[in-house]
Amino acid sequence: MTAITKKAALLFLAAGLVAGMSSCIMEDRTVEFVVTHETCATFDVSSESASFTVPTYVFLADELNAALSDNNAAREDVVTARIVSLSYGVTEFTVPVSLHDWHITGSVTVERNDISDGPDTLLNYTDESVMDAYGKRIPAHLNRAGVEVVNRALDDFLAGGNPVLVFKLNNGTVSPAPTALDPILFQWKPCIVMHIVTKKDIQVPDPF
């Protein structure tokens, strides 16, 4: 037997031994992992009046597929996906010439763009100081009707759909009232945190 043949035989023997030994301590498990995903809607507000509506689109299926891919999972692995929380804050703020703050009231609604669902209110904001919200992540009290629009979109995603959500910032009042000489200018960003429960078949060492 040549040296190469001997080495090859030894390698096969070692590989077989390892495979045989491994099977006795490895156990199959289907583990439910939680992928945390955050989706944000950015509203650029530039208005000379108190009443304004700013829409923004979120391609939910694309975002979720990317989040799952980052975690080595796919849509077929998802057990359930639900909204956990929502926070918001002002990310850009142009201070008016007269250096005053803005106090705003209004709501954020959500609806589907791909099918008819909503709009329903996701959150209301009352007397929100734009200056105080700058650079913050303020937890929001969520409205069930709006949450259910998002949760139905998540269910459609699990069923193979490609939901697109439209978030609308519907402003009610602004104090002091903006004018052409003193327009209200800021960027507002609500972010939704979701938990995506995925299952994965893995082998774990559990020898005894």
Partner 1 sequence: MASSGLVRKGLALLVLIVCLAPSASAQINNQLSAYTGANAMGYLRPLANAFGADLNTGIFRSASIPKMRPTVRLEIEVMSVLFGDGDKTFRAVTEQGFSPAQRVEAPTIVGSEKAVLVEGDGGTTYAFPGGFNLHSFALAAPQLRIGGIFGTEAIIRYFSLKISGEGKESKDLGDIGLFGFGLKHSISQHLPAMLPLDVSAGFFWQKFTLGKNKEGGHLMSSNAFSFGVQASKKLPVFFVPYAGLSYDTHKMDLAYDSKATGTEKTVKVDFEGTSTMHLTLGLMFNVPGLNLFGEYDIASQSSFSFGLGLGF
Q: Where do contacts with partner 1 occur on this chain (CB under 8 A)?
A: 18, 21-22, 24-26, 29-38, 69-72, 79-80, 82-85, 87, 137, 139, 141-144, 147-148, 151, 191, 193, 195, 197, 202, 204-208
Q: How far is the CB of 204 from partner 1 (least distance, A)?
A: 5
Nearest-5° Cα angle at 65, 63 to 66: 65
H or E, element range at 164: strand 164-175
> To which residue do tokens 């099918």 refer?
115
Which burial class, exposed, middle or buried, applies to 124 when counting CB atoms under 10 A from its CB (0-12, 13-18, 19+)? Answer: middle
Identity of the residue, 27 or 48, whose beta carbon is nearer to partner 1 in the bound complex: 27
Q: How far is the CB of 38 from partner 1 (least distance, A)?
A: 4
Q: How far is the CB of 21 from partner 1 (least distance, A)?
A: 3
CB atoms within 10 A of CB 192: 25
- Tokens for 37, please give them: 């995903």
Q: How far is the CB of 111 from partner 1 (least distance, A)?
A: 16
Identity of the residue, 34 or 177, whose beta carbon is nearer to partner 1 in the bound complex: 34
